[in-house]
Every structure is written in structure tokens, then in C-alpha cells.
Amino acid sequence: MGGSFLLFSYLLSVFASLPSFTVVKADSDLTRPSFTPINRDLYHSSDDLIEQIKSLVHRHPDKLTVETIKAGNKGYTSEITVVTYCQSRKETDDKSKFRILLLIYDLRLVIAGVLDRLFIVFQSFGQHGRELITSELALRILSILSEEQFLPKMDQASLNGTLENVVIKVVPMENLNGRKLVEAGNLCERRNGRGVDLNRNWSVDWGKKEKDYDPYEENPGIAPFSEPETQIMRKLAISFDPHIWVNVHSGMEALFMPYDHKNRTPDGLPSQRMRLLLEELNNVHCHKRCMIGSGGGSVGYLAHGTATDYMHDVVRVPMSFTFEIYGDNTATLKDCFKMFNPVDHTTFKRVLNDWSAAFFTIFKLGPHQIDVHSKAAVSSMDKWVSIDEYFDGYLMGRRNRYGKKMEVLEVGMQEIRTYFRLFLLSSVLLLFMFCSRISKTGRQIVSAIPI
């Protein structure tokens, strides 16, 4: 009995002398990966950013205008804010109305030469919800255009001279619904509010899937232009008829030209001009870090149904680009905010300064790369998207809703197109004959008056 007590006392003293341990549960915070949250000190909320832009426009009505366009289908709605910069507001408004008039009546050859007085740049930011830095860049560019902020080492008088004949269309946040999902905590979301990748929803090579296709990343939707956001952007692109299109993203540092769905760039002089401009931007503003070439040939995978390929192949924009303005390759695949957006003030400021300056270089060099004033009527005609495009867009939307019942309607619409063209032709001929008759009658009256 006494021996057992001594042994028990000895074992108790041994255990007492051992270091203490803390039991950690397997699902505790120590075993979970650390994700970087949105830095609210650097980044605006989506609502605040749009409000800041509208306030900016309100303070500078002589240079800026803003409109909000809404669309929806099948219970899903979206809205896109569009800002227009022009030193001569009236000229821009008249010109935009003139382009829309042409699109409706398809009389492109009659007045083709009047439309090339201004150089139009169309920019889209925030197409993917998780890429917050792109919308901040849009706000920064608009602030510089309004002269509330300034580019380092740039003469303001020279800048104003550069912008004299340039119209700049800015979509600061194309994917508002997707952005709100990111702000709610889904930091890796790139798709829109119903799970469609807006940069796979355009019609050029739409729906083709590569071997590594990931529906979470690249869901193209049920049909080209099935999404209200892409429907709005398509109509904007057609009505603006830009000379330069830039789709701004983040995830790496790159300056891409078409094609995204092919492992090559387009042939000919336009392609050479695009590359020369990108090389200048890379040397001066990207510090030679940016990848240059076709999106499909440079990234390592092909992308089908992208906006830039549509702008190049269908809208015939002379210079169509995709810019990737930032990427952190040290971030893990699930640490999306850090991967796609600067997280510290120094890097944030550098990215905005470098890429703002790059865009103003585009505004300066673009008109020289494209001979705006010497376009032939045939070239202008090639760039216009005819009324067929509008009918096709209408039919696409109706087909998505009503399916096979649309076949009869399509046949009817084809006949309407034919009769519409005949009506236009006869109207123009009658107008020509009427004007000729008046001209001859006027000459006869004048000659009958005694001198």
C-alpha cells in the first residue's frame, strides 16, 4: 500500500513538471487560409463611386455629361452609367444624334464624310466584379479631364490642346450587380448578378469551350447578348462608333490587341499601328513590364465571345484593346482581392498615376495613328452597323424568350427589312426628283423676269 502511494506521488510529480499544451480544434482560425479583405480606406463602394462621378459631372457641365441606361430580361435588371467628355458639349450632342439617325435610316453613303470631325475613344471599366482597381482608374481619369486632379509632369495647356477634338466615352462600372456581390463578401466573383461572364457573352466565336473550361470563371450565358449588360454595351458601341476601344481589366500587366479567340493578331497596317501604340505605352508608362500581343496568343488560353474581338470584327473599331493594369502573382488563387487589386497606398497611387498617363498618351497619339479626316466613304460604310444589326438584336432577345415560335416572326422581319429598304430607296429618289424639279422651275422663273 505504501509502495503504491509512493509510485503514484512520483508519477504525479513527473506530469506536473511537463510543459503545458493547448489543444487546437481542427476548424479553428489558425488552420484557415487568410484572405485579404477590401481596403475600404483606398476603395470606394460602388454606390459611392458612381455618386462621386455624378457629382463631378454636376460640377463641370461644360465638359462632362452623364446618363444611366437600364435594361432587363427574365426578371433580371441591370444599369450602366456612361460619362461623356468633350470640350464642346453642343457639338458632341449633335454628332451623337446624327449617328443615331444614320443607324435608324441606314443612309450612310449620303452623309458619310460629315461624321469624322471628332476622335472618339470608348473605355469600359469594371466588367468583372472583383477588379475594383479598374473603376478607381475610371474615376481618376474623369477627375483629370475635369481638371480637379492633375497628372504629374504634364503641362495642362498642352493637355487641353490635345483634347480639343477628342470625345471620350467612359463606362466606369459595367458590371454593377457583380461588383455588389464582391462587396457583400464574394471576393472572387467576376460574373454578373446571375452568373454569366460578361466578357464571354459577345457574338464573335461565342460559346466555344476549351478543355480547361470553368463555368464559374467563363460561363458565356445561354446565347450571345443574353445579358442586359452586354446588350447595353453593344448598342453604345454601335451608336458611338469609336476610333479606339479599351476594355480595362486587372490580374496581370498586359497590353492586348485582337484576337482573344485566336492565337494570332490581325493582318495588315491596322495591326501594325495597334502594336506600335502599345509598344510606346509599354516603354513609357508600363516600364517595359507589360506583355504585348494578342490576348489568345499571350495569356496561354483562348477566350471566346469577348468584347474586344466583337469591337474589332463587327463594329470595325480601328484600334481595339484589352488592358490589364495590375496583378499580384504572389497571391494565392483564392486571395482574389490581393491578386487583382493593390492593397497598399503606395502601389495604389502608382497604378493610378501610370495608367492615367497611359490613357492620356492614347488621347494624344491616337488621332495621329488613325487618319480621322481622310476616311473614304466606303471605309465609313464598312464601319457602320446597319439596321440589320438592330433587327438581329431584337430577334435575339425575342428568341431567348419565346424559343421556336420566333421562326415565323424571323421570316416576317426579313420581309420588313426588304420593304423598308425599298421605301428608303424610293424616298431618296423622290426627294432627288423633287429637288431637281424645283431647281429647273426656279431657273425658268428667273430667266423670265425682265432686266
Which residues have C-beta within 8 Å of that of residue 167, sequence separation ≥ 6?
A: 84, 85, 86, 92, 95, 118, 119, 120, 121
Distance CA 405, CA 390 (A): 20
3-class DSSP assignment, residue 159: helix
Task: Tell me the three cell numbers of residue 48.
Answer: 459611392
Catalytic residue among 136, 324, 407, 410: 324
Using the Cα atoms of residue 100, residue 106, residue 111 and residue 114 in order, give the sign of their dihedral.
positive
Report yes or no: 385 and 103 within 8 Å, Cβ to Cβ.
yes
Q: Which residues contact 273 (CB under 8 A, 6 or more apart)?
A: 318, 319, 369, 370
What is the Cα–Cα distance from 225 to 232, expressed in whole angstroms? 9
Could you give the CA distance from residue 355 to residue 350 in angstroms, rounded to a whole number?
Answer: 8
> Burial, 89: exposed, middle or buried (Cβ in 10 Å; 0-12, 13-18, 19+)?
middle
Other C-beta atoms within 10 Å of 385: how many?
A: 21
Axis-axis angle for helices 228-240, 89-105 (nearest 10): 100
State phi, psi for 385 to the nearest 5 degrees. -100, 120
| Rounded distance between C-alpha atoms, residue 424 and residue 447, angstroms | 35
324 is catalytic: yes
Q: How far is CA 395 from CA 93, 199, 240, 411, in A?
A: 29, 21, 22, 11
If you ran DSSP here, which 8-state letter would residue 314 be given? T
Which helix H or strand E contains 236, and what residues bound it? helix 228-240
Identify the residue whose cell numbers are 495608367. 355
The string over 20-34, giving b where at least 16 C-beta atoms fall within 10 Å of a residue's C-beta and e elsewhere, is: eeeeeeeeeeeeeee
How does strand 319-326 pair with strand 244-249? parallel
The per-residue b/e assignment along 159-189, b for 16 or more CB within 10 angstroms, e otherwise, is beebbebbbbbbbbbbbbbbbbbbbeeebbb
Query: What is residue 402's three-state secondary structure?
Result: helix
Query: Which residues make beta-bridge pairs with 78?
Result: 71
Annotated catalytic residues are 324
